[in-house]
Structure 1
Amino acid sequence: MEQAYVAINSGDSEENNNPNTDNLLRAQRKMQLRNVILVGIVFMLLSSASQTSSTVETIVIDSVHDQYFNGTSTLGYKLLAVLNGVIAGSVWISQTMVANIGPKYGMLIGGVCYCIFVSTFIRPLVSTLFAGVVILGVGQAVLWTSEGVFLSLNSDKETIGRNSAVFWALYQTSLLWGNFYFFYKMNGAETIDDVTRYWIFGALVVLAGAGTFLIMALKYPVPKLVPHSINADGSVKVESAEVKSRGLVDSIRCSLRLITTKRMLFAMWTFIYIGLEQTFWSNVYDSSLGYTKKFGTHIADSLVGLSGVFVGIGEILGSIIFGLADTRFPRMGRDPVIICGFVSHMVAIFLVFINIPNAAPLGATFDDGFIHPSFQLALFCSVLFGFGDSAFNTQLYSYLGEMYAADSVPAFALFQFIWGLTCCGAFFYATVLHLYIQLLILAIIGSIATITFCKLEWDYKKTRIPFLQSERSQLADEGTENLLHNE
C-alpha cells in the first residue's frame, strides 16, 4: 500500500506502561541528544571556516592583485556558482556513499574537503580556487546528506522538532565566530593586505581541522521501529529505520521516484526558496554592503563580516524560539513557524529595497538607495534574514526526518540536489542582475514556498490521526527489545 505517513516510534510512557521500555527509551534519547549536540558542534566548527570563506570571498578575491593573480568584483559569484553546481551533481554519488559507508564516515570525508577548500584562499590562484570549490562541492554534498540522515536516525516523532532546533542553533553559531574574526581584523582597514589574509584563513583552517577531528567522537544511533503503512486489517506495518545500502543507479532511482509524488513536488518549492534566500544573504547581500561606499570607505568592508554575525544572531534566536515553541506547544504544527519566517523575510526584502542601491551587487558604487544607506538598518535586515532562514530550515528538516524516517537518504539527497542547482543558478544570475530584480525573485518564490509547505503540513495533520490511533495498540507489543543495541 502507498506510504501515507511515517512516524518514529516514541514509546511514549502514556501509551506503554512497561517500566523497562521507559528506561530503555530514556537511555536511547540521552544518547541521541548527545549525538545531536556533537554533530551541531562539528558543523559549527566546519561552517565557521567554510561559511565565513564563502561570505567574504568575493571581497577578498577582489582585493588580490599581483603577478600571480588578478581578482575581479564578480569572480567570487562564479566560484560559488560552480560550487553549487558540483554539489548538485555530487548528490547522487554522496547518496550511494552515505548508504554504504554510513553517515559518520560520510561526514569525516566532508570535513577533510572543507579543510582543503579553506586553505586555497591563503594564496589565491585561479587553478587552486576552482579546484578547491570542486573538492568542497563533493565534500559538502556528502556532509549534508550524512547530516540529514544522522539527524533522522537520532530522532523520533517526539524529539525531531527539538533536535532540528538544537542542531540548527549550534550550527548557526558558526556565523558568529568566523565573521566576527573577519570584522575584527578588518575594522578600520581600507584594503585586505596579504598578512591580514594569511591570519584570517589560517585561523579558519584550524577551525575546520578541529571540526573534522571531532567527528570521530560521534556514535551510531540505535535502530528504531517506525510505522510505515497500514495493512489490510487496519494495523500498522512496522519496519526498522536505518541506512539502507544501495548502488548508484538504485540511489538515483529511489530519489527520482520521490519526485513523482505530490508531497515531494510541493516540498521542492521550499527546497528552491531555501537555496535562493541562502544564496542572497550568505554572499550577495554581504558583498552588496561591502560595495556600498556611502556607508564610508572605512566601514564598508568590515560590514561584510559584521553582517554575517548578525545573520547568526537571527539564526540562533529563531532556533531557540522555535525549539521552545515545539517543546511547549507540540501540537502547534510547522505551518505557524513557516509563516513567521516568511513574514520576517518579506520585511527584510522591503527594507533592503529601500536601503541598498540597485547596482550594489555588481561592484563598488557611491549611489544611494531610496534613502541614504544606514548600516544599522542593514544589520537589522541581516537579523531578519537569519531568523527567517532558521524557520524554514528547522521545519523542513523536521518534516523530512519524520515523513521519510524509514529511509531518509533519498529524500535528503533530493533536497541537496534541488538546493545545489538553485544556488548554482542564483549565483550565475547574481553576476548580471541588479538588486531589485533579485529581491523580486525572492518575494515571488518565497510566497509560493510558504503556501505549498503549509498545504503539506495541513495534509500531514489529516493523515496522522488514523495512524496514531492504530499504532498505539501495535507498537507496544512489537519488539521493544529492539529499541537498544550497542554500536
Structure 2
Amino acid sequence: MTPEGKALLNIVILGLGFMVMFTAFGTCGNIEQTVIKSFNSTQFHGSGYTSMAIIYAVFSASNLIAPSVIAVIGPQLSLFFGGLVYSAYIAVFIHPYTWSFYTLSVLLGIAAAVLWTAQGNLLTINSKDSTIGRNSGIFWALMQFSLFFGNLYIYLAWHGKTHITDKDRQTVFITLTVISLVGSFLFFLIQKPDPEPAPSDASESLLPTDISDSSSVVASQGLGSQALDAFKKSIQLAMTKEMLLLSIPFAYSGVELTFYSGVYGTCLGAMSKFGGDAKGLIGLSGILIGVGEIIGGGVFGILDKCNRFGRNPVVFLGMITHFVAFYLIFLNVASDAPVAPEEGTQMQAYMQPSVLVALICSFLLGLGDSCFNTQLISIVGFLFREDSAPAFAVFKFVQSITAAVAFFYSNYLLLQWQLLIMVLMGFWGTVTFFVVEWTAMSTRKNSDYASI
C-alpha cells in the first residue's frame, strides 16, 4: 500500500472508531436528562445537565495536560484508554448512583481531553497541507454516522412511550456500553504512518509520529521533560494572535454543541403538545442532526467544492443555517421546555407546535455544526501543523469550557435566552474566523493553501 493510501486508511479507521464509540456516547448524552427524570429512586439525585457541565469543565482543564499524556504513551493508547472511560460512564446508567455518576463525570472529562487531543494529532500526522481539509471532512462525516444509528435505535425503542421504565433504561445502556467497547478496540487497527521523504524539522516536533510508542523520543528526552515541553507549548500557542481570534469560534462551537447534543432533545421530549410521540422525537431529532452532520462533512470536506474560495464561505453558510434554525426553534418550542419537569410543559410558543418544523431544525443544527467544525479542524491542522497536539488541546480547552458553562446555565435559563447567547457568539465567531482565514491566505500565497 502506498504511503498516501495507508494514511487515508488510518483516517477512515479513526473515523469508524469514533463513529462506533460515539454511537453509544452521543446517544447517552442525548437521552440522559430524560432518563434521569424518569428514574424512580430516592438514592439518586443527579442531573444530566450538571453531569455534562462537570465533564466539560474537567475536560477544559485537562486539555492543559493532554499533550503531555500523548507525548508519553502515544496517541493510539491514549485513544484506547480514553474510550474505556467513555464506556464506564455509559455503564453507570445501568443502575445509577449519585456518587458513581458524578465520579465518572470527572474521569470522563480527563479522558475526553486526552481522546480528542490524540484525534487531532493523528489526523494531522496522517495528512499533508493538501489533504488536511479532505481528511477533516472524511473523519467528521464518518463520526457523525454515530448520531444516525444510535438515535434510530432510541426512536424505535421508545416510540409512543410517555415514561421510561427501569427495564427500558437497562436494555438501552447495556447495549450502548458494549457498542462503546467495540469502538475503543478499533483504534488498534491504526497503523504507523510512513515517514516524510525528506524530513527537515521532524526531530524538533514535541510529539512522536509513531502512533504505537514513543520510545525514540523518550530515549533522548526524559518523560518529565517531554511532558513539560508539551505543556509549555500549549500555553505559548494559546497566546498567539491566531489562537486568540479563533477562541471565539471555538467557544461558539462549544455552546452550540451543548444545545444540539443535550438541550434540544430534552426540549422536544418535554413538549406535551407533541403528544405520545414526544419521547420518540428525541431519537428522531438526533437522526436528523446526524444527517445534517454527514451531509456537511461530505460536501465541505470530502467533495471540497469550495476550495477555490477558502474556508470562509462554509463558515458563513454555517452561521446562516444556525440562525434560521434558532429563529424557527424560538417560534416552535415553549420557552420553559429546557427546564420542564418529567411530565413536560403545557406552554406553547408563537406558533402551533409542529413536529415537521422541529425536525427541520434538527437537520439545520447538524448541518451548521458540521460547517463550523470541519473548517475549525482544518484551519487548526493547517496553521499549527508542527504542533498539532498542543494546538488541538487549546481548541478543545476553549470549546469544552464554554460547553461546561452552557450545560450549567441550561439548568436555569429559558429557551429564548439560550438562543440569544448563541446568536451573539455565532456572529462574532464568524467574524473572527474570517480575519484568521484572510490572514492565512495573504501570508501563504505560495503554499498549497489553494488546494485545501
What TM-score, normalized by structure 1, do the two folds share? Answer: 0.85
Q: Is the 8 A contact 1:362 1:434 kept in 2?
A: yes
Cα shift at 1:324? 4.5
Alignment of 1:250-261 (within 5 A): 250-261=229-240
Asked if 1:331 is matched to 2:303, the reply is: no
SS at match of 1:92: coil
Partner of 2:190: 218
Q: Is the 8 A contact 1:49 1:205 kept in 2?
A: yes
Alignment of 1:68-467 (within 5 A): 68-69=43-44, 75-224=47-196, 239=202, 243=207, 247-296=226-275, 298-326=276-304, 328=305, 330-363=307-340, 364-466=344-446
Over residues 3-57 of structure 1, what are the superposed CA-to-partner deviations in whole Å (9 max), with x where a residue is unaligned? xxxxxxxxxxxxxxxxxxxxxxx81110011000001000001101111111100
Q: Is the 8 A contact 2:332 2:351 kept in 1?
A: yes
Cα shift at 1:206? 1.1
Q: Is the 8 A contact 2:13 2:190 kept in 1?
A: yes
Over residues 411-452 of structure 1, what are the superposed CA-to-partner deviations in whole Å (9 max), with x where a residue is unaligned? 111111111111111111111111001100000000001011
| Rounded Cα–Cα distance in structure 2 between residues aligned with 1:468 and 1:62 | 52
| Rounded Cα–Cα distance in structure 1 between residues aligned with 2:107 and 2:372 | 28
Partner of 1:22: none
Aligned CA distance change for structure 1 residues 70 and 97 (closer, same or farther; 3 Å): closer
| Rounded Cα–Cα distance in structure 2 between residues aligned with 1:95 and 1:80 | 23
Structure having the larger proportion of residues in helix: 2
Partner of 1:53: 28
Cα shift at 1:242? 7.0
| Rounded Cα–Cα distance in structure 2 between residues aligned with 1:67 and 1:342 | 44
Q: Which has the larger radius of gyration?
A: 1
| Rounded Cα–Cα distance in structure 1 between residues aligned with 2:429 and 2:347 | 33
| Rounded Cα–Cα distance in structure 1 between residues aligned with 2:301 and 2:112 | 26
| Rounded Cα–Cα distance in structure 1 between residues aligned with 2:45 and 2:246 | 42
Q: Is the 8 A contact 1:224 1:242 kept in 2?
A: no
Amino acid at match of 1:35: N
| Rounded Cα–Cα distance in structure 2 between residues aligned with 1:226 and 1:461 | 26
Cα shift at 1:279? 0.4
| Rounded Cα–Cα distance in structure 2 between residues aligned with 1:302 and 1:129 | 25
Partner of 2:12: 37
Aligned CA distance change for structure 1 residues 362 and 468 (closer, same or farther; 3 Å): closer
Partner of 2:211: none
SS at match of 2:93: coil
Over residues 107-143 of structure 1, what are the superposed CA-to-partner deviations in whole Å (9 max), with x where a residue is unaligned? 0111111110110001011111112212211111111
- Superposition RMSD in Å: 1.8
Cα shift at 1:351? 0.5
Partner of 2:214: none
SS at match of 1:365: coil
Q: Is the 8 A contact 1:226 1:239 kept in 2?
A: no
Q: Is the 8 A contact 1:153 1:223 kept in 2?
A: no
Aligned CA distance change for structure 1 residues 468 and 202 (closer, same or farther; 3 Å): closer
Over residues 58-92 of structure 1, what are the superposed CA-to-partner deviations in whole Å (9 max), with x where a residue is unaligned? 00011001353356xxx111111011111112212
| Rounded Cα–Cα distance in structure 1 between residues aligned with 2:306 and 2:403 | 34
| Rounded Cα–Cα distance in structure 1 between residues aligned with 2:198 and 2:64 | 26
SS at match of 1:120: helix
Q: Is the 8 A contact 1:351 1:377 kept in 2?
A: yes
Q: Is the 8 A contact 1:342 1:450 kept in 2?
A: yes
Cα shift at 1:323? 2.3
SS at match of 1:219: coil
What TM-score, normalized by structure 2, do the two folds share? Answer: 0.91
Amino acid at match of 1:346: F
| Rounded Cα–Cα distance in structure 2 between residues aligned with 1:213 and 1:394 | 25
Aligned CA distance change for structure 1 residues 368 and 218 (closer, same or farther; 3 Å): same
Cα shift at 1:248? 4.3
Could you tell which deviates more after superposition, 371-380 or 246-255? 246-255
Over residues 160-193 of structure 1, what are the superposed CA-to-partner deviations in whole Å (9 max), with x where a residue is unaligned? 1111000000000000111111111111111111
Q: Is the 8 A contact 2:129 2:448 kept in 1?
A: no
Cα shift at 1:247? 4.1
Amino acid at match of 1:405: R
SS at match of 1:127: helix
